Amino acid sequence: MELNTIESHDIGIAAEPSAGTGPTAKKVFVKTYGCQMNVYDSQRMTDALAADGYVATDAVEDADLVLLNTCHIREKAAEKVYSELGRIRDMKAERAEAGRELLIGVAGCVAQAEGAEIIRRSPAVDLVIGPQTYHRLPDVLARVRGGKKVVETEYAIEDKFEHLPQPKRAELAKRGVTAFLTVQEGCDKFCTFCVVPYTRGSEVSRPVAQIVAEAERLAEAGVREVTLLGQNVNAWHGLGENGEEWGLGRLLFRLAEIPGLARLRYTTSHPRDMDEELIAAHRDLPALMPYLHLPVQSGSDRILKAMNRRHTARDYLALIERIRAARTDIAMSGDFIVGFPGETDADFEATLELVREVNYASAFSFKYSPRPGTPGAEMDGHVAEAVKDERLQRLQGLLLKQQQDFGLSLVGKTIDTLIEKPGRQAGQKVGRSPWLQPVIVDDKAGGIGDIIDVRITRTGYNSLFAELV
Ligand code: 5AD
Ligand code: SF4
């Protein structure tokens, strides 16, 4: 897998307040943890609830329903959910005294993994719903309002995406000029550290017609950049418009034909699924942004084997060479785990060596976190926390240096930027570079949704500053 879950700062998106259905409409507050797929799912749940009369709010105090869309990838992420539930439980108790109801729902990967256990541990929770059944949310809520506690984690046989309502165009337009679109869900790879195959189930690919229709709606609402999502997105193989099975490369070529869609991305990929057609898309498709998140996790063949990654460090490096030959300006991104069971100093040095060889533009790195039910958790040779800390620090130091050097290499260059939103300071707008960096430009640079050329003048911690050309 490998949608990026951002360890220390969960993306607390509250779904955008939508056009109300009157002052008495029920309100839902959605808090999203974890990866981009959860961000996408939160929007789709909000859409399903809108059809049920709920209006989204970003103020938890106003909510009649609080929905936590949770992440189970590492222990810390899961524990955060329980501490948040403690706070909301107190709110619910205060509300009850005032005679007003507050419903609490847990969705996402913790919901799928722990099911009824959540209600045992946190009895204030009214509903638990797994990612495969979000389209049943209105029905689940009806049962909850009838006084039941509901746990809905069975995999639905019907197609969730067929049954999730599409948001109104005005609603979509409010969400900005970049959007996520899930094309694939689940994973069959079973890396030994990872819970995803258990929480998101086995791989499912959405058919081309469904994906194209959703992308067209996004483009009509003003979206210029779409990121295709999947836990194993490059393993996507869907039914094509001609009845044949397509791969991701072909899908990208098809999506690039949609008027208005100027930029395409996909995340996250597994090295074993980078096929010729996809590499060709990087070579021949200008709309496909020159940025690739391709997690490797470790640079040691011994550890890669124990992780069941089914490739070597050499395989990975050779693959990157082929990709770079196809698209010279491609920036690489990756995920790393330090302190997997059995990892020695020499194994860790091999990871540093691989990082030096690849030279990443950005990367995410984590301490190994044993997940119940995964083979890794049962292995011998767990690494001491202090050693994991020290390795993580060294790795992150190197990766940060590479990221900063990449930013610096752009100073003085003219690059295209998608103007996304007003800046924090007056007189500024924030754009996005082809390599995903925020670009701070003068307000007069262009309207939101425009793609303009700017010259990079200097770098910030994580962003670029630019002037008009
Ligand atoms: N411990 C630490 N990191 C993990 N990841 C996945 N599972 C674990 C785990 N048990 C990391 C991997 C993956 C990213 C999304 O999270 O690097 O690519
Ligand atoms: Fe990614 Fe491996 Fe987890 Fe699948 S099992 S989601 S490939 S890390």
237: β partners: 247
pLDDT, the chain, mean: 93
pLDDT of residue 22: 54
Question: Which has more confidence, 411 or 171?
Answer: 411
Distance CA 56, CA 447 (A): 27
Ligand 1 midpoint to CA 133 (Å): 24
* Section 319-333 average pLDDT: 98
Residue nearest to ligand 2 atom 3, measured at CA: 1
pLDDT of residue 4: 52
Structure tokens at 198: 């258990």
Is the predicted pLDDT of residue 376 greater than 70, yes or no?
yes
Question: Which has more confidence, 3 or 372?
Answer: 372
Distance CA 113, CA 132 (A): 12
269: β partners: none
Distance CA 250, CA 257 (A): 11
The answer to whether 142 and 150 are in contact (CB under 8 A) is no
pLDDT of residue 77: 83
Is the predicted pLDDT of residue 2 greater than 70, yes or no?
no
Distance CA 259, CA 219 (A): 7
Residue nearest to ligand 2 atom 6, measured at CA: 1
Give residues with Cβ within 8 angstroms of 41, minimum separation 6. Answer: 69, 107, 108, 131, 134, 182
Region of residue 210 (phi > 0: left; psi between -120 and 50: alpha; otherwise: beta): alpha
pLDDT of residue 23: 55
Ligand 1 atom with the smallest distance to the CA of 193 is 10
* Section 272-286 average pLDDT: 98
Closest CA to 316 of 339, 332, 327, 340: 332
* DSSP code of residue 136: G
pLDDT of residue 8: 30
The answer to whether 107 and 71 are in contact (CB under 8 A) is no
DSSP per residue, 137-175: HHHHHHHHHTT--EEE-SPPSS-HHHHSPPPPHHHHHHT
**Helices in 190-333 by DSSP H: which ranges?**
196-199, 208-220, 248-255, 276-284, 301-306, 313-326
Distance CA 355, CA 405 (A): 14
DSSP per residue, 80-114: HHHHHHHHHHHHHHHHHHTT---EEEEEHHHHHHH
Number of helices followed by number of strands (H, E) in the chain: 16, 21
Distance CA 119, CA 126 (A): 8
* Section 188-195 average pLDDT: 97
* Section 352-378 average pLDDT: 97
Structure tokens at 233: 């997105």
DSSP per residue, 211-243: HHHHHHHHHHTT--EEEEE-TTGGG-EEE-TTS
The answer to whether 105 and 125 are in contact (CB under 8 A) is yes
The pLDDT tens digits for 6-60 are 333 333 334 444 444 455 789 999 999 999 999 999 999 999 999 889 999 999 9
Q: Which of 194, 236, 303, 307 to mutate to test the pocket of ligand 2 (most atoms within 8 A of CB)?
A: 194
Ligand 1 atom with the smallest distance to the CA of 367 is 2
Ligand 2 midpoint to CA 231 (Å): 7
* DSSP code of residue 436: S
Ligand 2 atom with the smallest distance to the CA of 188 is 4
Residue nearest to ligand 2 atom 1, measured at CA: 1
Instruction: Tell me what percent of the residues of the chain surpass a pLDDT of 70.
Output: 95
Ligand 2 midpoint to CA 451 (Å): 34
Distance CA 353, CA 331 (A): 18
Closest CA to 293 of 313, 270, 276, 275: 270
Structure tokens at 242: 């001609």
* DSSP code of residue 303: H
Largest CA distance in the chain: 66
The pLDDT tens digits for 73-112 are 999 888 899 999 999 999 999 999 999 999 999 999 999 9
* Section 176-194 average pLDDT: 97
pLDDT of residue 3: 56
The pLDDT tens digits for 204-256 are 999 999 999 999 999 999 999 999 999 999 999 999 989 999 999 999 999 99
The answer to whether 266 and 333 are in contact (CB under 8 A) is no
Q: What is the model's pTM?
A: 0.94
Distance CA 317, CA 332 (A): 11
The pLDDT tens digits for 143-182 are 999 999 999 998 877 789 988 988 888 888 889 999 999 9
The number of beta carbons lying within 10 Å of the beta carbon of residue 156 is 14
Is the predicted pLDDT of residue 342 greater than 70, yes or no?
yes
Ligand 1 pocket (Cβ < 6 Å) reads 1-5, 73-74, 193-194, 295, 297, 335, 337, 366, 368-369, 371
